Structure 1
Amino acid sequence: MKKRIGILTSGGDCAGLNMVLAAVTSRAIHGYGWDVYGIRQGTLGLLRRPVEAEPLTLESFRAPIPRMGGTILGTTNKGDPFAFPLDDGHIKDRSEEFAEGCKILGLDGLIGIGGDGSLNILRRLAHKGHVPFIGIPKTIDNDIGLTENSIGFTTAVDVATEALDRLQPTAASHDRVMILEVMGRDAGHIALSAGIAGGAHIILIPEIPYTLHNVAKHIQTIMKEGHNFALVIVAEAVKTEDGEKVVIADPTGRKRFGGISHYLADRITELTGAETRFTVLGHVQRGGQPNASDRLLASSFGVHAVDLIAQGKSDRMVAWQNRCVVDVSLEEAIKSYGEVEPQGTLVKTARGLGICLGDS
């Protein structure tokens, strides 16, 4: 019998998701003659009745859709089916409805594209519904274990690097210190990579403690060396010098990272007297067309995920290791948080270039 597989995107959006959807659809149809169903709004599509899903065909991905940012299926980072928030404030376990949704669609396999949190939830849901499941890692934070790169990361780095390129001339024109705050959640991969590529003088990441004294001293040193400006890039999860998280709350009370660049700008001005400005790059890092690296990674991951289902495998995650696409234990990948290694190659590179990481 012809197999039918489902695919969904879950968690935050990023560049490259549509390329994954196109690769999965193409491989499933051309390689195996399978039917592919795209599930809308992540897990929410399988909770709704009727189930919100649509057949994906080769016609679904005519140009320019594969190179578009975002996801044509929509996504969500809310509403865990195991603890789903109801309108009356109560919490309900709706995981059985997810399993039922898979049965309604007649799925022989499910591919989920998400970060560590989303993949963990999807893994548990697939086990409950007895549906073979393959995970594809995507996150601009690049913090999923056992893979060197996740979809969306290199495009986000490109955006942050371009922001530094644009900040440099205005910093030099006005003799200013310019601070760029970037995303990354608890990891500093975007800040570290973009900081090196974009010529930052100072890179601050959550994995390496810093002092304001060291930051101010480095700014004063480069000014004495003839520079009339300084570029600082900081990851959103960097804490204050006293170890406090800097967060902001929306009208509903939900908190998220934001504001460390404002804190640093005030302190740097106090300590150095330099005119300091800050820019919060925010969701610009998630949007736009995927770069070539993310398109290649998305295509490789999509093809390999379909092949794994064809091989009868489940509970695996596709990954990029040593310039090859491989598959690893999904459970182990979720457990292995991929933070910046303080003794890793890029940290050593930054130090070798004379970039200050705030700890000396």
Structure 2
Amino acid sequence: MRIGVLTGGGDAPGLNAVIRAVTKSLIHQGGAEVVGIEDGYLGLIERRVRPLDWRAVSGIGALGGTLLRTNNRVSPLSYQGRDRRDEVLAYARELGLDGLVAIGGDGTMSIADALNRHGLPTVGVPKTIDNDIAHVERSLGFDTAVTTVTDSLDRVQTTGESHGRVMIVETMGRNAGWLALEAGVAAAADIILIPEIEYDVARVAAVCREREARQRFTVICVAEGARARGADVTVQRRVEDSPEPVRLGGVADVLMAQLTPHVSSEVRTTILGHVQRGGAPTPSDRVLGTLLGDAGAALVLSGAWGHMVSLEQGRTGQVPLDSVANRTRTVPGDHPLLLCARRIGISLGDG
């Protein structure tokens, strides 16, 4: 058996733990030969691969980034104006691949589903710091990102308290608020704004003024996909010929402009950006990456092509790729952590 492995979409802490576990499990259990595809799906188009043997993946679980590198702008379904699926399939056959393990988020899974239907047997392993993949209750990379955001919120609180400022910290998350919600609760943010709940500028300003009179400073954690009531999301830029053409970002600056006329305090913003993706994974993400990678190898060895590893109620399982492709797992209004935030007095900007 000869299996290809790639990492697609944005990077996430813990990817190397997945690569290690997939490779070692396939070698140890199935005697397989493993081929690493470099730069995500671009490697299948531009023919860039490397062998992954036992030694190549040893000692990488604690490293950030991805040994194979990745790409979030390339899809074989449409690359430089052409459908490249036939070329990819021909190259996979030339390599002698019996199948492919694609590690990534919902965009990566949608491409994996298309390739599987086109004749390249594929399984998926989920990862994203956004925690927004369907059928995955805690995604790879999320714990590390929460740790990074929490540390950042802790740091801006001390400077905000020293100067009596409103401190706004913007997180990633696209159209899901998991990262802002969990880090905001962990760091005891005063206001948490997420995409699932449109915020009222007047209410947010009122909370800031209340705190000016009482504690002088306010910490706001805002997800990049959050928006004021009746407004659109803030788009940083658009990237043509990309599976994710709309890139969000800049809502913190929008919120600063909205609040400044209504509060006495100086308002400052910090947009964390890609620092949330970087650095070594937490022990939790190293363990989760190992668990998910081994589960991905198990799908290959059982012939469960066209499926992705799921994680529900603390157990790994499998779901069809097409049940994950192009779907977003958002924060439900009755989620226990959301309700907890309200009960302990954290404002969600809606009343």
* TM-score, length basis structure 2: 0.95
Q: Does 1:53 align with 2:79?
A: no
Aligned residue identity for 1:46: L
- Quickly say closer, same or farther: Cα 1:308–1:249, change in 2 above 3 A: closer
Q: Does 1:258 align with 2:266?
A: no
Counterpart position of 1:75: 70
CA deviation map 1:244-297 (0-9, x unaligned): 222233798975222211121122221112111000000000110111111111
1:150-165 aligned within 5 A: 150-165=139-154
Report deviation, 1:46. 1.4
Q: Which secondary structure state, in structure 1, belongs to the residue aligned with residue 324 of structure 2?
A: helix
1:196-207 aligned within 5 A: 196-207=185-196
Separation in 1 of the partners of 2:247 and 2:32?
41
Contact 1:181 1:236 in 2 (8 A): yes
Give the % identical residues.
41
1:294-333 aligned within 5 A: 294-333=285-324
Aligned residue identity for 2:180: A
Aligned residue identity for 1:353: I
Separation in 2 of the partners of 1:192 and 1:7?
33
Separation in 1 of the partners of 2:252 and 2:341?
20
* TM-score, length basis structure 1: 0.93
Q: Out of 157, 162, 165, which is 1:176 matched to?
A: 165
Separation in 2 of the partners of 1:251 and 1:72?
25
Separation in 1 of the partners of 2:303 and 2:78?
30
Separation in 1 of the partners of 2:314 and 2:84?
40
Separation in 2 of the partners of 1:311 and 1:290?
29
Separation in 2 of the partners of 1:27 and 1:356?
46
Separation in 2 of the partners of 1:333 and 1:302?
18
Separation in 1 of the partners of 2:29 and 2:22?
10
Aligned-residue Cα RMSD (Å) equals 1.7
Separation in 1 of the partners of 2:42 and 2:236?
27
Counterpart position of 2:266: 275
Counterpart position of 2:102: 112
Report deviation, 1:310. 1.1
Counterpart position of 2:61: 66
Structure 1: which 5+ runs fail to align? 86-90
Counterpart position of 1:239: 227
Q: Which secondary structure state, in structure 2, belongs to the residue aligned with residue 83 of structure 1?
A: coil
Separation in 1 of the partners of 2:317 and 2:15?
19
Counterpart position of 1:339: 330
1:78-89 aligned within 5 A: 78-85=73-80
Contact 1:145 1:335 in 2 (8 A): no
Structure 2: which 5+ runs fail to align? none
Separation in 1 of the partners of 2:74 and 2:307?
24
Separation in 1 of the partners of 2:304 and 2:84?
26
Aligned residue identity for 2:208: I
Separation in 2 of the partners of 1:4 and 1:251?
35
